Amino acid sequence: MTLTMHVLPVGRSLLTRAENDEPALRALRRVLSPGAFDPALNPHRKVSAELVRLTDPRTGLLDLGRILTRRQERDAVRSDGWRLCAEWTSVTVASRDRSDDGRCHVLIASDTDDGLRSAVLVAGQYAPDDRMIHYIDDPITAADLEFEPGAVYVFRIPLLDFVAGTMGELTWFSLGAVGHAIQRTAREARAGRWDVLLHLTGGYKAMVPYLLVMAEGIETALRIEVIEGRAPTLRAVSVHEQSPDAPLGELKLVELPVRWVQGRALRDLQAIKKHVGGSATVRDDKWIDWRGQWITDGGAMLTPSGMIITRVL
């Protein structure tokens, strides 16, 4: 049985279309708007806090029925207008010629109000029962999560905000933890053989280098060991920009190269991972060859790439 895992970094194209008065999305303009939150329940009026409040702590499920309270809102997120946002477009194009036995959707969100709003609304398209999605506020605690066919997952990446420049260790370790959950699910493949598609059409363009590092870690893990003899695959893809009126059959899915680590480099990377444990501090200069790549030029810390890839593994 072949399964497809769509991994989607989410930008704000859906919100932009809604704000520009796109008729199919007009009903979403104020959904999850911080100004509408009850200050008694959410004193700082943050979308992240509201999503935590609405998520069942036992199951991790976010009930969209408490967010999309009007029929027009539910119809908007379930629209068949695949051009309405970059993420829906990319999945539609990627699925055009595929035949699979099931799929799951993993959405990666920034830590901004708009980033989280957009991710939840984009995810609504894929919620199997029109209501429930898995919301993960702290990815590091969910590194061993196993994705299930048919399910939808939204990950908040803490402090991921390029405008505010708040990114740090927690940000990059969290992105690596998402990658770890992806590779672990794909390698163990309890439900079938996974094909992982990392979509780079949507999301914030500044995230692309970091997402490709995550993909490098996933590809490396997939080549180290395949549990139960199954061979998952990983591809990074993007939809080639063409005329907005081009029919679906003419849209091209461009594949981006994904590297992997092997040989001495892999042995060193595994040693670095063991050395740092759960931190970003490097207390030995034996890996000087990897300064500027996985280790900072000064040699005392992992770089963002180093934090991501060690956590993926």
Assigned token pair, 202: 């949507």
- Confidence at residue 130, expressed as pLDDT on a 0 to 100 scale: 64
Residues ≥6 apart with Cβ < 8 Å to 62: 51, 54, 55, 56, 120, 132, 133, 134, 135, 154
Cα separations (Å) of 229 from 48, 104, 226, 238? 40, 22, 6, 30
Domain match, 37 and 123 both: yes
- φ and ψ at residue 265, rounded to 5 degrees: -60, -40
Same domain as 294, residue 168: no
> Nearest-CA neighbor of 237 among 203, 273, 271?
203
Across the strands, what pairs with 61? 134
Q: Are 200 and 220 in contact (CB under 8 A)?
A: no
State the pLDDT at residue 57: 93
d(CA 181, CA 222): 12
Integer Rg of the chain from CA: 20
* 22 and 61 belong to one structural domain: yes
Asked which of 126-135, 138-147, 166-175 is least confident by mean pLDDT, the reply is 126-135
Number of domains making up the chain: 2
pLDDT of residue 152: 97
Same domain, 156 and 269: no
Q: What is the pLDDT of residue 231?
A: 82
The whole-chain average pLDDT of the chain stands at: 92
Range of the domain at 286: 261-313
Do 119 and 180 belong together in one domain?
A: yes
Tokens of 245: 């009126």
Query: Are residues 241 and 266 located together in one domain of the fold?
Result: no
Residue 115, pLDDT > 90, answer: yes
Over residues 239-251, the pLDDT tens digits come to: 977 666 778 878 8
- Region at 142 (left for phi over 0; alpha for psi -120 to 50; beta for the rest): alpha
Q: What is the pLDDT of residue 227?
A: 58
Question: For 245, what's the count of Cα atoms within 13 Å in the CB-facing half-sphere?
Answer: 0
170 and 48 assigned to the same domain: yes
- 50 and 164 in a single domain? The answer is yes
Determine the Cα–Cα distance for residues 270 and 195; give it in Å rounded to an integer. 25
Q: Other CB atoms closer than 10 Å to residue 251's CB: what's the count?
A: 19
Confidence grade of residue 172 (pLDDT, cut at 50, 70, 90): very high
Q: Is 158 left (phi over 0), alpha (psi -120 to 50) or beta?
A: beta
Q: How far apart are CA 11 and CA 211, in angstroms?
A: 14
135 and 6 within one domain: yes
In the structure, what pLDDT confidence band is assigned to residue 49 with cuts at 50, 70 and 90? very high
Task: Report the C-alpha gap between 313 and 303 in whole angstroms.
Answer: 16
For residues 220 and 274, membership in a common domain is answered with no
- Is the pLDDT at 229 greater than 60, yes or no? no
Question: Pairing mode, if any, of strands 152-156 and 253-256?
Answer: unpaired
Same domain, 169 and 311: no
Return the closest-CA partner of residue 103 out of 111, 112, 94.
94
Task: State how far the Cα of 91 lies from the Cα of 115, in Å rounded to an integer.
Answer: 19
- CATH number of the domain encompassing residue 53: 3.40.50.10770
pTM metric for this prediction: 0.95
pLDDT, greater one: 220 or 131? 220
3-state secondary structure 223-277: HHCCHHHCCCEEEEEEECCCCCCCCHHHCCEEEECCCCCCHHHHHHHHHHHHHHC
Task: Specify whether 239 is located in the same domain as 295.
Answer: no
